Structure 1
Amino acid sequence: MQSRIRRRYAAERRFRLAGLAAVWLSAGFLAFLLSSMLWQGASGFVETRVALPIDFAAAALPIEPARLTSRGADLALASAGLEGAVDSAATRAFGKDGEGLLSDGAWVTVRDALKADPGLLSRKTVIAVPVASPVDMAAKGDGPPEAEAVVARLKARGVLTRGLSMTFLTTADSTDATRVGIWGAFKGSLLTMIVTLLLAFPIGVLSALYLEEYAPKNRWTDLIEVSINNLAAVPSIIFGLLGLAVFLGTFHMPRSGAIVGGLTLALMTMPVIVIAGRNAIKAVPPSIPSAAS
Structure 2
Amino acid sequence: MSISIEQRRQHRLMTIEKSLAKRHRKENAFRRMGLLAVVTGMTLVAILFISILMRGVPAFWQATFYMDVYFDPEVVQLEPKPERESGESQFAFNERYSQWLTRAGLVNWQTLIDNALEEALGEEVEPRQLRDLRALVTSGERYALRDRFVEDPSLLGQTVELKMLASANVDVWIKGNIDRDLPDARQQLSAQTRTWADQLEEQGVIRNAFSTSLFLNTDSRSSLASAGLAGAFMGSLFMMVVVIGLSVPLGVSSAIYLEEFAPKNRLTDLIEININNLAAVPSIVFGLLGASIFIGYLRLPLSAPLVGGLVLTLMTLPTIIIATRASLRSIPPSIRQAALGIGASRVQTVFHHVLPLALPGILTGSILGVAQALGETAPLLLIGMNAFVANVPGTPLDQSTALPVQIYLWQGNELRNFFEARTSAAIIVLLGLMLSLNALAIWLRKKFETRW
Distance in structure 1 (CA, Å) of the matches to 2:314 and 2:210 = 42
Aligned match of 1:89 in 102, 111, 115?
A: 115
2:206 matches 1:163: no
How many corresponding residue pairs?
292
2:314 counterpart of 1:279: no
Letter matched to residue 46 of structure 2: A
Structure 2 vs 1, CA of residues 286 and 6 (structure 1 numbering), >3 Å: closer, same or farther?
A: closer
1:158-195 deviations in whole A, cap 9, x for unaligned?
A: 43222222211222211122111122212211211220
Give the share of equivalent positions with the same residue, in percent: 37
Q: Which residue of 1 aligns with 2:165?
A: 130
Q: Is the contact made by 2:61 and 2:208 (CA closer than 8 Å) also made in structure 1?
A: yes
Q: Distance in 1 between matches of 2:134 and 2:240?
A: 43
Q: Secondary structure at the match of 1:57?
A: coil
Deviations 1:229-270 (A, max 9, x none): 333333221211111011111111122532111111112222
Structure 1's 282 and 158: CA in aligned 2 closer, same or farther, altered over 3 A?
A: closer
Q: 1:218 to 1:253 in 2, by over 3 A?
A: same
Please say if residues 82 and 111 of structure 1, whose CA atoms lie closer than 8 Å, have aligned partners that are also in contact. no
- Where does 1:208-223 land on structure 2 (aligned, <5 Å)? 208-223=255-270
For 1:105, the equivalent position in structure 2 comes to 140
Aligned to 1:140: 175
Moved more, 259-268 or 89-98: 89-98
What residue number does 1:38 align with? Answer: 53
Q: 1:264 to 1:26 in 2, by over 3 A?
A: closer
Change (3 A) 1:220 1:32: closer
Give the structure with the larger helix fraction: 1
CA drift of 1:28 comes to 3.7
Q: 1:101 to 1:225 in 2, by over 3 A?
A: same
Cα distance change on mapping 1:76 and 1:291 into 2, 3 Å: farther
Q: Counterpart of 2:347?
A: none
Report what 1:241 is aligned to.
288
Is the 8 Å Cα contact of residues 62 and 80 (structure 1) preserved in structure 2?
Answer: no
Structure 1 residue matching 2:218: 3-state secondary structure: coil
- Greater length-normalized contact order (CA 8 Å, ≥ 6 residues apart): 2
CA distance in structure 1 between the partners assigned to 2:228 and 2:286 by the alignment: 29
The answer to which of 124-133 and 6-15 deviates more is 6-15
Mapping 1:1-293, distance limit 5 Å: 1=14, 2=17, 5=20, 9=24, 12-13=27-28, 15-64=30-79, 66=81, 75=101, 79-86=105-112, 88-89=114-115, 92-93=118-119, 95=125, 96=129, 97-111=132-146, 113-114=148-149, 117-143=152-178, 145=180, 147=189, 148-175=194-221, 176-292=223-339, 293=344
Where structure 1 has 5 or more consecutive residues not aligned to the other structure, the ranges are none
In 1, Cα distance between equivalents of 2:327 and 2:213: 44
**Is the contact made by 1:63 and 1:76 (CA closer than 8 Å) also made in structure 2?**
no
Return 58-67 or 159-168, whichever deviates more.
58-67
Deviates more, 1:81-90 or 1:185-194: 81-90
Shift in Å, 1:30: 3.0
Q: Distance in 2 between matches of 1:267 and 1:185?
A: 21
Return the alpha-carbon distance in structure 1 between the equivalents of residues 231 and 151 of structure 2: 25
Instruction: Check whether the contact 2:239–2:306 (CA below 8 A) recurs between aligned residues.
Output: yes
Residues 266 and 22 (structure 1), Cα distance of their counterparts in 2 relative to 1, 3 Å cut = closer
CA distance in 2, matches of 1:85, 1:204: 59
Q: Compared with structure 1, are the counterparts of its residues 248 and 218 closer, same or farther at alpha carbon in structure 2 (3 Å cutoff)? A: same
SS at match of 1:248: helix
**Residues of 1 paired with 2:43 and 2:100: CA distance?**
50
For residues 54-108 of structure 1, the C-alpha deviation after alignment (integer angstroms, 9 at most, x for no partner) is 432344424345469x997995575242534345436755632212221012224
TM-score, with structure 2 as normaliser = 0.56
Q: CA-to-partner distance for each residue in 1:5-62, whole Å, 9 max, x for gaps?
A: 5565456545544544543444344334323322321221212123445432344424
Distance across 1 between alignment mates of 2:200 and 2:149? 25
C-alpha RMSD over aligned residues:
3.3
Alpha-carbon separation, structure 2, partners of 1:7 and 1:262: 56
Cα distance change on mapping 1:210 and 1:258 into 2, 3 Å: same
CA distance in 1, matches of 2:167, 2:243: 40
Distance 1:54 1:277, change over 3 A: closer
